[in-house]
Amino acid sequence: MNDTMNEITAFSPFGGRLVLEEVKGAQERANVPENSIETKAGDDRSMYVYVPASGCPDAKQTQVVMFLRDGADEASAQAAMKEYGLDALAEKEHFVLAFPNPRQSGWSERDAEDMDYLSRCFMALPQGKGKVGGFIGMIFYIGGSPSAGALLLAMSARRPLNVAGVLLSELPADYSIPQDGVNAPQVAYLCGGAARAADYFGKVNGVTGADARPLEHAVLYTSPVNPNVRHIVSELPFSAQEAVRAWDMLFCKARRWSNDTYGTYQKRTDFTARGFVAHVNDPGLGVNEGFAHTWYEYVPPRLRGSKEKAPLVFYFHGIGCVPLYGAEQSGWHDIADRENFIVVYPKPARNKAWNIWDEPGMPSDQAFVLALLEHMKRTYAIDESRVYISGFSMGGMMTNALACAYPELFAAAAPCNGFNSGYLVPASEMWTMLRKMPTGRGLPDGPSEPVTRTRVRADAKKAAFAYRMPLIQNSGLLDGTWPAAQDDPFKRLASFDYWKTYNNIPLTPYEPAAACESGLTADETFYDCADGRFLHHRWFSRDEGKPALFEVVLAKRMPHALDLRQLELAWQFMKRFSRGKDGSLHIDP
């Protein structure tokens, strides 16, 4: 899927050439927000890498294809690349192509070091000469020999989280399917020489003959549980044509998000085909001294050209990310198609990090959002009483900041995995952490204002009017430590108490409850959705009618990530609220 709306921003000085890269054995972890990977230390090794001269999107939107061959020299990598047309495919589809080098003894499915090494290859990409990385949930492996196929099948069986998809060309004649796998779903393409693994993939993907669709010289199987989990069994030997079919039908269609023990496959979005509208480096908002801001708009087909007023949802992506990544992560546009509202995905002004404090010396992202809201109202028929905000990680912090600083504009909020730091924490306390990341470049020198402008603005608004702000906070039970401590650096408990007080909800001493994993005590606590994954807390205001104005939803088995169902729950919560012109809150029964 060559979607031209994914902006091409990453170019390598060695683009269009095979380059030998070092893979350090000492590297055990890549700590990149929403793109982290851990493995074990091992031997220093190497790989050959081809970054397309045509460039790649942001790393969070870039796919990686690793081809395992039996040779360890440049000639064997070059031969495989040309025979299977992988360089031409990489140039067209803008993915990074890597050729890990086997040890002299070859690949071994019994050697955990080979699996660890493949993870270290991914970590080495952005640090190498090529300077272009990819996303951990979009690593696709091709086994170009029987031993390589055996290793990749063992890896997908035992360590599926870091294997978004596999193409197996052959398996050893005496190979036995692993019996110690975790039975996690797996996207896979099996060529003629590996077709005997079909029963294994049918089992882990939960498919039967009823889930099969004939193709030319192949059969496509789709999981009845998750339609994004698919595998193809081909009669044909591996060839350039089979590589293209695997890419077109499987590899470009899904990504594996690290939001559960073994991740979850979600469909990739073709933004151009869906009708997204891009504003890239657009100075037209006339804010921040003419700064060229970026944002993406989505209007469901039923609303295009309509004068019917519709709700609007803002979604703010996490630190180090880009808007279209946030769109795929959250799926707000899919909910919009069903529920008839408009979505906008903005990008922060500076280095992919939101100015949640409205700190001077940096462009004001809050002013950007206000100007963008006015633009959306001029461009589309927006129901001004039903404007909602949501975001992930630092985007969740931005959601919190806007909710308290501009309660007159927003009817409800759904922050995810980010809390009210823009109100509670002076900017310089977070700058120490941010300066260790690429997003920390260009931060102002010296201390920040001791009381953030977000806090000053929020306190003034609240003092002038008894605003209420319905807010549903999402997070994961593996994101930080639960029960949370009072000195929690993420300010979770302080954030919860802020919104309870704001919404006239009684505060009670925090005494971790043994009844549930979070330790929180609420007016209502229950497990949500059919599989009971979500620990749902609800608190009621003392206002007339005792409305539920603050909720916390925590996903079991989830680290710093999102489950799409959390956004579904968020919409069901938010859509009941609207904002009057006088600032009052209206609640649908």
Q: What CA–CA distances, in Å, run from 223 to 163, 202, 204? A: 17, 9, 9
Please report where in the chains the tokens 């990686």 appear, as a residue: 64
396 and 545 in a single domain? The answer is yes
Please tell me the distance from the alpha carbon of residue 147 to that of residue 141, in angstroms, as a whole number.
Answer: 13
Answer whether residue 8 is part of any domain: no
254 and 276 in a single domain? The answer is no
Query: Within a 10 A sphere around the Cβ of 82, how many other Cβ atoms?
Result: 12
Q: What is residue 438's predicted lDDT score, i.e. its pLDDT?
A: 65
Q: What are the φ and ψ backbone dihedral angles of 107, each rounded to 5 degrees?
A: -80, 145
* Residue 447 pLDDT > 70: no
507 and 541 in a single domain? The answer is yes
Q: What are the φ and ψ backbone dihedral angles of 436, each rounded to 5 degrees?
A: -80, -5
Answer whether residue 539 is part of any domain: yes
Question: Which of 213-222, 245-254, 448-457 bottoms out in mean pLDDT, i.e. has the lowest?
Answer: 448-457
35 and 134 in a single domain? The answer is yes
138 and 250 in a single domain? The answer is yes
Answer whether residue 5 is part of any domain: no
407 and 551 in a single domain? The answer is yes
Query: Within a 10 A sphere around the Cβ of 385, how many other Cβ atoms?
Result: 14
Answer whether residue 463 is part of any domain: yes
Here the CATH number for the domain that contains residue 483 is 3.40.50.1820
152 and 29 in a single domain? The answer is yes
What is the per-residue pLDDT across 214-233, written as a single tens digit (0 to 9) for each? Answer: 999 999 999 999 999 999 99
Answer whether residue 13 is part of any domain: no
Half-sphere exposure of 158 (CA within 13 A, CB side): 17
User: With bands split at pLDDT 50, 70 and 90, how would you rate the model's confidence at 443?
Assistant: low
Domain final residue pick, 233, 267, 301:
267
Mean pLDDT of 569-580: 98
Answer whether residue 11 is part of any domain: no
* Residue 515 pLDDT > 90: no
Q: What is residue 371's predicted lDDT score, i.e. its pLDDT?
A: 98
Domain final residue pick, 249, 267, 285:
267
User: With bands split at pLDDT 50, 70 and 90, how would you rate the model's confidence at 194?
Assistant: very high
What is the per-residue pLDDT across 19-44, written as a single tens digit (0 to 9) for each? Answer: 999 999 998 888 787 888 889 999 99
Structural domain range at position 401: 271-587
Here the CATH number for the domain that contains residue 217 is 3.40.50
What is the per-residue pLDDT across 60-88, written as a single tens digit (0 to 9) for each? Answer: 999 999 999 999 999 999 999 999 999 99
287 and 252 in a single domain? The answer is no
Q: Give the chain's domain count.
A: 2
Mean pLDDT of 122-132: 95
Residues 108/154, Cβ–Cβ less than 8 Å: no
322 and 232 in a single domain? The answer is no
285 and 160 in a single domain? The answer is no
Answer whether residue 7 is part of any domain: no
290 and 239 in a single domain? The answer is no
pTM of the model as a whole: 0.96
Answer whether residue 243 is part of any domain: yes
276 and 210 in a single domain? The answer is no
User: With bands split at pLDDT 50, 70 and 90, how would you rate the model's confidence at 446?
Assistant: low
Is 567 in a helix, a strand, or coil? helix
What is the per-residue pLDDT across 299-357, written as a single tens digit (0 to 9) for each? Answer: 999 999 999 999 999 999 999 999 999 999 999 999 999 999 999 999 999 989 999 99
Please tell me the distance from the alpha carbon of residue 156 to that of residue 175, in angstroms, as a whole number.
Answer: 15
Domain final residue pick, 205, 238, 267:
267
